[in-house]
Structure 1
Amino acid sequence: MCAPADMKRLAAEAKGLVVQALDRVTVRLGFGHSQERLVDDAKAYWVDGMAEPTWRGFSHFRDAGVFQTTADWTSVGREHWDLFERLERLRGGADRYSRIVEWGCGGGANALAFAPHCDEFVGVDVNPQTLDECGHQLEAVPKTKFTPVLADMSNPEAAAEQVGQVDVFICLYVLELVPSPEYGLRLMQIAHDRLKDGGVAFVQTKYQTANWRTASRRHRYRGSRSSGMTSYPIDTFWTQMTDLGFQPEACYLVPHNPLDERYAYYLLSKR
C-alpha cells in the first residue's frame, strides 16, 4: 500500500492532469476566455499578486526561494548573455551597443548581465516593485544608465512610445507568461517597431511538441501554472517573425534546465 504522503501526491498529480485536460477541451470547443479576461487575470497576478507564493520566483527576484535551492540567480543572466553573444557572432554583430531594452525585466537577472555591454539599459515591466529591484541590482553597473519604464498590460504600445529606438530588444522568460499567443505577437510587433534598422531581437518562447499538454492554455490564467500559459510551434513562430519583418538568424533549443523545460531562443534581425 502507498503511504499517506504518496497517496496525497498521486491524488494531486491526477487532479492536475484532469484540470489540464479540461482546459484543452474547453479551448478546443471554443469556450476559452476572451483576450480581455485573460489580460485582466494576468494583471491581477503580476501587478496585484505579489503575495502569491510563486510571484517572486517567476519575477526573478534574487532572494526568491527557487534561487536558493534549484537554480543560481546570477547564472540566469550570464548564460543568456553568453548565448546571445554566440548567436550574434553568427551574423557579425557588435561587441557593444548604445541602447538595450528588456521587455519584462523582472528582478534584474538578465539586466545585470547585459547592462555592462551598453551605454543605456531600458527596463520595462508592469510592476513598479520589479523596476525598483532591477534598478537596485544595476547599481553594480554604475557606468550604464538605467531607464525604467512602467507598462500597462492592457496597452503595452503606450509604454513602447517611452522606450524610443534601441539596438537590442530582449524578452526572456516572458513570452510563455503572456495571456495568449496573439498578445505575444503584439510584443514582437513592438520589438520590430522599436529596433533601429539592423538592430536585433533576442527572445525566448516555450515551444510546443506533439504532447497536448504543451499547447497554449487560453483559459484560467490565475488558476493555471502561468509559466506554461503560452507556447508556439517552432516553425509557426519562425514564420510569424518573418511576416512581421524580421530576418530570423538562429534558433537554439533548451529541452530542459533547472528552471523549466522546452525553451526556444531566437535571434531576429530587423530587415
Structure 2
Amino acid sequence: MVSSTLPPSTRYQRRRLSWEIWIVLAVTVGQSALYSVLSLVRKLLAPVPLGSQQTQVNPSRDAQAVWDVVYQLLAVFFALALVALVVYLLWEPASNALRRIGLDFTRFGGDLWRGVALAAVIGLPGLALYAVGRALGITVAVVASPLDAAWWTIPLLVLSALRAGLTEEVIFIGYLFDRLRRLGWNDWSIILTSAALRGAYHAYQGFGAIVGNVVMGIVFGWCYRRWGRVMPLVIAHTLLDVVAFVGYPLAAALWPGVFAPVPASTPTPSPTN
C-alpha cells in the first residue's frame, strides 16, 4: 500500500485526516444522509405508494408562534455552528481557510453573476425533473414551506435557505475537496463521491431527488474545480432554495397536482432539518 512507503509522520497525518473526515461526516451531512436513506427505505416499505406520500422541508417546530420562531432560529444557529467547526478545522497557520476555499468577498461581483447563472442552469431542469418524478410516482410531494405563512415566515425561510447553501457547499465541496486531495484523491473521484453523498442526503424526497442532486453535485463539483471558489455555489444554492421555499405556496396553488400536499399520507419531516 502507498501508506507503507511514507514516513511515519506522514502516515500518522493521513490516519488522523481520515478519522477527521469520518467524524465530520458523522456529525454533519453524513449523519443526515444516513437518516435520509433510512427514511426512503421506510417510505418504500409503507403500504402507501411512494408517489402518494409527502415530506416537509421546513416544518413548524412548535404550535405557539413565538416558540416556533425561537426553535427555528436555534436550528439555523446550531447548523451554522457546524459549518464554523468545519472551517475551523480547515484553518492553518498563515493560511486563511475562507480564502483558500473561496468563501470570501474578494471577488463578490464575479461570484454573484456566476451564482445567479448557475442557479438558472440548475433550477429549471431541476423543476422539470421533480415534475416528471411526481408524474412517475418515484418522488414524494415535497412541502417546502407552510401554506399559511405569517409575516415572519419569509425571513426564516431565507435563513433556512442560507443555512442549506452554506452547510452543503462548504462541507460537500470546500471541505471534502481540501481533505480528500490531501489523501491523494483525484478531482473527479472527489466530485463523484461528493455528488453521491449529496444524492443520499436528499434521498428522503424520492428517486427523482436523488438523481437531480447527484447531477447538481457533479455540476457544482466541476465548477469548483474550474473556479476554485465556494461562494458562487453558496449563492446559487441559496437562491434555488429561497425561490423553492418562498414560492412554494404560489406553486401549490397553480399546480396542485404536482406541488400541493398529499392528504392521503402522514407528512414526515426532512431528516436534514
Same fold (TM over 0.5): no
Larger relative CO (CA 8 A, sep 6+): 1 or 2? 2
- Answer 1 or 2: which has greater strand percent: 1
- Answer 1 or 2: which has greater helix percent: 2
TM-score (norm 1): 0.29
